[in-house]
Structure 1
Amino acid sequence: MIKQPVLAELQYFVSSVSLLYKGVPLKDSAAATALVKCALHLLEDLPSTRDAVFEYFSLVFNGAVKSYLSNVEKNNPDASAEDDTIQEIHEALERLVTNGPPAWSPLISSWSLRLLGEICDKNSRRRPLDIRTSCNLWLGCQAIRCLVGLTALCFSKLEEAEVDNCIAGLLNTFAQYSPYFDWVVARLGGCFPARVIARMLGCGLKRFTGEYDQVDSEVEVLSYLAAANEEHLRRALRDIIEREAAGNKLTVPYLLHLSKNSEVLAQSLAAVFLEHHTDAHLQLFRSQCKFWPANYNITNVVHIVTGLLLKVKKHSIPVLLTLPRLADRYPWCQELLEMLFVELETLVLEKRSCPLLDDATKEPAKELLWRACLSDCALLQQSGVRLILLVSLRSAHFLQQSIAQLLAGSSGELGSGKPHLNALVRLLGGPHGSAELPKIKPSFEIALERMLLNPTRGGENYWVLRNLVEIVKLERDSFNVHLKKTNCVVVLQELLGKLLAIWEMLMNQQKNTLLQRQGTFSFGNAVIKPEIKRIKREDGGTEQIDTGEGTSRSRTSQIATPVTFDQIHMLAKLIDCMEFNAKSAVLNMSECLKLSALTVKYFFLCLQQAATRLNGDDDTNLHRCYQLLSRHCAMRK
């Protein structure tokens, strides 16, 4: 039997709310406060009245929102008259969720979500706002702030088993009131980003048919959530590909459909492709493509993927360089590559912005491009070279940097066809369609400066010299269409000062090492002798002391290696190929004297090396000395 106080409160509540529904307002704020307290008592003491009490609360919240929107339209910043009432209801419901039985959380969250959906739908504008604008508009209202905060609090109090039901309720409300409810899902989805993203993708895939599906709301919500939870989005994409790809033949079209409407989704999808482009997946998709909708045939998919890669800020370069490796097994990869380069050339010639080209000049994308140019895979190397040349039309420095990098590169074995040299020659020719001649002098300067600044970089320094020799030979002995624009020999003649400085540095380094081996610092069977210093005694005599520096120097001094000798001989070969006896070669007096001195020095170094009989090319090196000296003497008569 209902107690008298409760019965009296029930009668008061029913009569007051009935008047409100008839349009009769309460007398004053005190009456409104009394009615709220009465409703809260009934909510706790009389469970059967909960629906009626929540209905009354909905009436209060609707009135507060109506007043807020009216003030917004009038540009009136004054607070709503219902704000105090709203605050009291919010605090009471918050206490129930925090201190009351656990059953309150799903009950109150369900009511608040439904009310939010109804309010957003009822007060919607003809043209829906984007999520950020909607958040700014709606969260300016205290009633809406209270509902969103209350729902988030309920979500935080849910048991693990109840979370899925609440997320399902959130997405059902989203489906019912979209697009005006999008901002609520985006805001509350942050409580469980991984689950909300995964469930939204799963629900969207089930509804997707491929025939002009409207996914604007899903894209907006997923993009908003992924902005702060990109890793969760990637994981959800990986899971849906692993789980649904075999069973649902529309997985790929659905993901492409989402991605072409959102840069964030396209970027995450590109990252997932890089991690999981296994043969099993690619074969599966190739077998499924015949079941895709007509607007997702292979030709259209190639166009869609091209557009996605052009607008992606990250991961587009690695994806582009992955395609050549797959092209021999999947013909659509080569078709996609050609389509990409056609679009890129159009963007460059029209001087339009392109995130892919902007990304190419940054780490680690440019390192990937340089490695591609050194690859044995012809299509991969060609793709890397073409992309560098396209970027060079916007950034000449990037071309110079790339040439300097490739000068220090090698293709491994000497008889491997020298693919790095093919790429280097192509870059030296500069981009097609450019009226200006490529400026290669800065590239050579960069490479030679690196040799001077870092002489211990033996292997790379050797390849710089070797590649320069090969380029000079190609230019001198054959007609190469790409070297036709440039005159590498003339450029190197202008840089003779740097070449002679490097030659002198290498020979001094080698001379010091030979002295160490033959004299005090012997590395054969002899023992390393410490450095000796004499000091004067008080009686006028001298004595020797061990400074301890000898052993230290022997450890830190650069030891002669075959690489150092090879660099010296390769530089001599380069100078020999440059033919300074030609009429076009003009040397100033300082360069002429230095070249003479270093050539003689090189001659004696070759004699010294020939005495050891450790090098099979001694005769060749001595003959080169003879040629250098003969030409130099004949030229300077």
Structure 2
Amino acid sequence: MISHTGIIKSAPQQDLINEIQVFIRGASNLDKCNPLELSKTALTLLKLLPASRVAVFDYFCKVFDNAASNYIKGIESEIKTGTLPQQCETDEVVISEIHLVLAQLILENATAWAPIISTWSLELLGEISTKYAGRAHISSKLNETLQLWMGCRATRTLVDINTKCLSSLIHSDTEACISALLDTSVKHSPHFDWVVAHVGSCFPNTVITRVLSCGLKDFSQNKSYEQGCNSAKLKSVVGILGHLAGSHTEDIRKAILEIFVRSLRETMDDTDATRIQKKATTPFILQLAYLSSTLLSSICDDTKHTLTINTITRLYFFIDDWCRYFGNPETLEEFIVTLILRCESGGAQILTLLLDCVLVTKIRGNDAMKNAIREKAKDILEIILLEIDESVRHNSPVNLLKSFKKETKELNVLLLNENKLIYETSAQILIFLANLNPSVLINSATHLLLNATNNEQLTLLLKMLCHELVDINCHKSGHFSVVLEQILSRNIQKFSTSNEENSDLTKMWENLLTLLRWEKTNKYPILSSKLVSRAIQSNLTNLTNLFASEILHMHIIADILDTIEIPTTKMTYNPPLQVILNLSQSTVNYFYACAKEQGTSLKVQGFAKVCRILKRLCTYSKVAKVFVLRELLERALFRSDNNLFGGKSNGLHHDCEKVLLKQNKKINKIIPLTKHSSVFNGGIIGNGKRKSISQDNLPLDDISHNIYQLINVLKACCSAQANEENKFNDLSLDSMTLLSLLLVQFVSPDVMYNGLPWPDEEFSKVTIERDLFIRKMFTNAPLLWNLLGFVAVSRPALCYCSVLIRALTATLIHQWKSMGEQSKANNTDNYRNLMETTVKLIELMALGQLLPPPLSNIGDVLQFLKCFEIVAILKECVWSYMRDHIPSPALFVCDTNGTYWRDPTIVRPPETYTNALRIIMQRNIKTLGPMYAQMFINVPKHD
């Protein structure tokens, strides 16, 4: 006898009949038979008489079911009593015997036995799982259920047998086994899920591939949309893949991608059934994604590589065939929209694909196809945005927003796209996200402010900040303030130390200035709330800190601070003291930075901005005024910046410079000194004459321009309040007085004898050392003459500089005394410098009306006189008059135009102070005749 297995049976026929009779009697009365013997008989029949396999497998079902029942009862007993029951040895032996024989059959002829045994084992596992579901506190959790049943010898054996079946067919055909797995899963799910999970974990690639193949084959054979979407086998495929997705997501994604790519290829070997399956592939994948969010995520993770414009054009020709699986085009569109809205990953890729389809141009195909793709993509995009909007407004956001939340960087990149549709769509999605999480808006607005390159992108920034869905009160500083705070605080430290890193803020400063200027024009309703100004005001501390240390962007930051026009007395915003101090220091730094630049328009514009900023600042705050004036003067006179104004070294001893007195003390500890122990160091023995003070060679035009700009800045700092009605004088007398007092403080080396009165000329012998120091300061810093000239314009303020003028006069008298006539005859440098200094001093006193006519005209006369005559005039006329007429601010009156002055017709000096001048001019009447007549004869009379 030859069986269908091809094995020749050599047993005698009578013995085989006896075995059949024994099996029938035992199977009919299981309670009275020996299970082990009966099982051996059944296994003998299975090997020798394959036709009996149905009956034998039915018997085996009872054996395994009984063993599973005993196992469950044992678990339940253990739960109740707390003691572990004794295991049934018979069940163990019988199942072990069955396992051995079935494994041998699979090994000997897998092609014949593996599909049969696999189908039987899976069905039996499904029945056992369903039958005992809910018993022994079987958990609904897959892992716990798997552990429970794998602890049972019966079910573990069945799983192992099924695994051997799949292993034996792994290189041939596993479709029968996988089909049985699907059918059983459909029938016994969810109790059978643990079997699927175990089998899938053993053969992930095989199971996934075969499950998809079987599922696609079944799906393509459905006659209607209802049959396809409600197919039990389709749901089973979803369940199996869903279980495997936890550990084999990448394998599932690759398998789905493979069948999708295969569906796009047409070959000569395709049969009608194959072509139908290829047309059904995309609807099948969509149905899988619809039924499982896990599968949907795995599919969407790599959309940009799976779907391209070219792929879309190829799929375009399958749309009519797809309608069979969805009913009609409208249902298909709704289905796709639903899937997109449910995506929790890959949202940015899907959005990019839709935008590419809307903007499709460079693809193969006719215009009709392009228009169809373009219009349909546009419709889908609009529907998606409307659905998201609706969900956000009803506080039930769709899953797609979760994907966008993880992909804000990609969306931010789209904000800078040149196409309006792309950047507006991206902005709309970011606004939706901002409604749920304001930090998204902050990051996106920061990205735009840092990188925007045109007005359209800046307008988009404003629209995002002020959108109705954004939870922001536009009457407060709002999100834009936070954006600025993040940028400035993040960069303030590193930018102050590394200029190379400043460059990435270039566009930010330009964009901020542009927005501020838009706001100032009052032409943009969206900026009516002063959004930009309020944001800048709330960040002025950091902004002014950056301004103090910036180099590359100082001009544009100055533009911003100038445009915002703070502080002013009319505004409601009151800057904190820290802002005032920062702005004061940074603006002074900016002034000197401009002075160091080469002659450009930016330099001139910078000076103008400094004047406007400091005028507002000093008018607003007296503290700022004192600080700014002090800083400007100190840097211009004593620091390294003094070379910008023609200044020389401040004359202080360098660390390595030797002091004459100390050198002499090394030689002799007792050094006899005169009463006035002043030491004039002309040099050091052995080192030669003391080196002259060096001066940087800056062009005179540059020096003059810098001095002019400094005076303009000082004028701005000393400006009068806006409410002071001065028609011709916009300087504040208090500010000018402050400036003059600062000059005295800086130039005069001590506080003694700094009062307004002039002592007798002989007293200058006591103050000669201090007078020489002051004179040296004027020599090393010629800027002092310009500063005194500026002070002299506000005449009463010059009175407070009396000590400086007195010191200069005293030194000039001493120098003229020692100047010989030979120097005048030879027109030496000393003579010319001395004459120039003397004339400047007289003109300064005349400008400040400290000297009345005709003494105020002495400067025109001096160049024609001899040295002793000049000494006489300085002593008898100038010094005597100043001694007897204290230069007091009280001498000046203020007219209706706000100008302080002394009427020269009233204050004309008595003859006592002009006789010396008169006599000397009479001696030189030949050369001084016209001037004599002007000064002493043709004098206007006071009525």
Match 2:247 to one of 222, 228, 237 = 228
Q: Secondary structure at the match of 1:290?
A: helix
How many residue pairs end up in the alignment?
A: 560
Deviation digits for residues 103-139 of structure 1 (CA, Å, limit 9, x no counterpart): 355555434322234436666869x999949857865
Identity score, percent: 19
- Residues 309-324 of structure 1 aligned to structure 2 (within 5 Å): 309-324=340-355
Matched, 1:258 2:277: no
**Deviation (angstroms), 1:36:** 3.5
Deviations, residues 574-628 of structure 1 (Å, cap 9, x unaligned): 11121115422423444323322321210110121225xxx66433333333433
Aligned partner of 2:580 in structure 1 is 592
What is the CA distance between 1:261 and its match in structure 2?
0.9
The change in CA–CA distance for 1:3 and 1:137 in structure 2 (over 3 A counts) is closer
Q: Give deviations 1:296-326, integer Å, cap 9, x for gaps.
A: 5443333222322332222123322432232
| 2:217 counterpart SS class | helix
Matches within 5 A, 1:6-155: 13-27=19-33, 31-37=34-40, 42=44, 47-49=47-49, 52=52, 55-56=55-56, 58-65=58-65, 68=68, 76-77=76-77, 84-92=89-97, 102-105=107-110, 109-119=114-124, 132=142, 142-155=153-166
**Equivalent runs, 1:76-475 vs 2, <5 Å:** 76-77=76-77, 84-92=89-97, 102-105=107-110, 109-119=114-124, 132=142, 142-156=153-167, 158=168, 161-162=171-172, 165-172=173-180, 174-175=182-183, 178-180=186-188, 183=193, 184-208=195-219, 209=222, 210-212=224-226, 213=228, 214=231, 215-245=234-264, 247=275, 248-293=278-323, 295=326, 297-329=328-360, 330-362=374-406, 365-411=407-453, 417-432=454-469, 436-437=473-474, 438-455=478-495, 456=498, 457-475=501-519
Deviates more, 1:569-578 or 1:402-411: 402-411
Residue identity opposite 1:489 in structure 2: S
| TM-score of the pair, normalised by structure 1 | 0.77
Normalising by the residue count of structure 2, what TM-score does the alignment of the two structures yield? 0.53
Deviates more, 1:234-243 or 1:54-63: 54-63
Tell me the SS of whatever aligns to 1:498.
helix
Q: Is the 8 A contact 1:429 1:483 kept in 2?
A: no
Q: Secondary structure at the match of 2:208?
A: helix
2:817 maps to which residue?
none
Query: Contact (CA 8 Å) 1:65, 1:141: kept in 2 or not?
Result: no
Where do residues 564-603 of structure 1 align in structure 2 (5 Å cutoff)?
Answer: 564-565=551-552, 567-582=553-568, 583-584=570-571, 585-603=573-591
Q: CA separation of 1:447/1:492 partners in 2, compared to 1, >3 Å: closer, same or farther?
A: same
Aligned residue for 1:524?
none
2:31 is matched by which residue type in structure 1? P
Q: Are the structure 2 counterparts of residues 146 and 264 from structure 1 closer, same or farther at C-alpha, using a change threshold of 3 Å?
A: same
| Contact 2:36–2:94 (8 Å) recurs in 1 | no
Report the Cα offset of residue 263 of structure 1.
0.4
User: Is the 1:370–1:405 contact (alpha carbons within 8 Å) kept by the matching residues of 2?
Assistant: yes
Alpha-carbon distance in 2 for matches of 1:3, 1:601: 110
The Cα shift of 1:351 comes to 1.8
Give the Cα–Cα distance (whole angstroms) in 2 for the partners of residues 26 and 186 of structure 1: 39
- Describe the shift of the 1:285–1:153 C-alpha distance in structure 2 as closer, same or farther (beyond 3 A): same
| C-alpha spacing 1:348/1:391, structure 2 compared with 1 (3 Å) | same
Specify the structure having the higher radius of gyration (Cα).
2
- SS at 2:23's partner residue? helix
Unpaired segments of 5 or more residues in structure 1? Answer: 412-416, 507-563
Counterpart position of 1:490: 534
Q: 1:77 to 1:305 in 2, by over 3 A?
A: farther
Q: Any conservation in 2 of the 1:409–1:464 contact (CA below 8 Å)? A: yes
Distance 1:347 1:73 in 2: 52
How big is each residue's C-alpha offset from its partner over 1:202-234, in whole Å with a ceiling of 9 and x where there is no partner?
A: 333333345111121121112222232111111
Shift of 1:493: 1.4
Alignment of 1:514-553 (within 5 A): none
Unaligned runs of 5+ in 2: 2-7, 79-83, 135-139, 266-274, 361-373, 622-720, 722-943
Contact 2:431 2:470 in 1 (8 A): no
SS at match of 2:201: helix
The answer to which structure, 1 or 2, has the higher relative contact order (CA under 8 A, 6+ apart) is 1
Q: CA deviation at 1:92?
A: 4.3
Q: Distance in 2 between matches of 1:454 and 1:14?
A: 94
Between the aligned partners of 1:169 and 1:121, the Cα distance in structure 2 is 14
More displaced 10-residue stretch of structure 1: 282-291 or 454-463: 454-463
Distance 2:340 2:180 in 1: 34
Which residue matches 1:516? none
Q: Residue 421 of structure 1 aligns to a residue in which SS?
A: helix
Give per-residue Cα distances to partners, 1:345-373, cap 9 Å, x unaligned: 222222225433234333xx121121121
- 2:543 aligned partner: 499
Query: Do the aligned partners of residues 601 and 219 (structure 1) sit closer, same or farther apart at CA in structure 2, a change above 3 Å counting?
Result: same
Change over 3 Å in CA distance of 1:256–1:453 after alignment to 2: farther
- AA aligned to 1:452 is I
Shift of the 199–482 alpha-carbon distance from structure 1 to 2, 3 Å rule, reads farther
In structure 2, relative to structure 1, the CA distance for the partners of 1:195 and 1:125 (3 Å cut) is closer
Equivalent residue, structure 2, for 1:621? 606
Residue aligning to 2:918: none
Give the conservation status (yes or no) of the 8 Å contact 1:321–1:372. no
SS in 2 for 1:206: helix
SS in 2 for 1:178: helix
Return the match for 1:607 from 595, 615, 638.
595
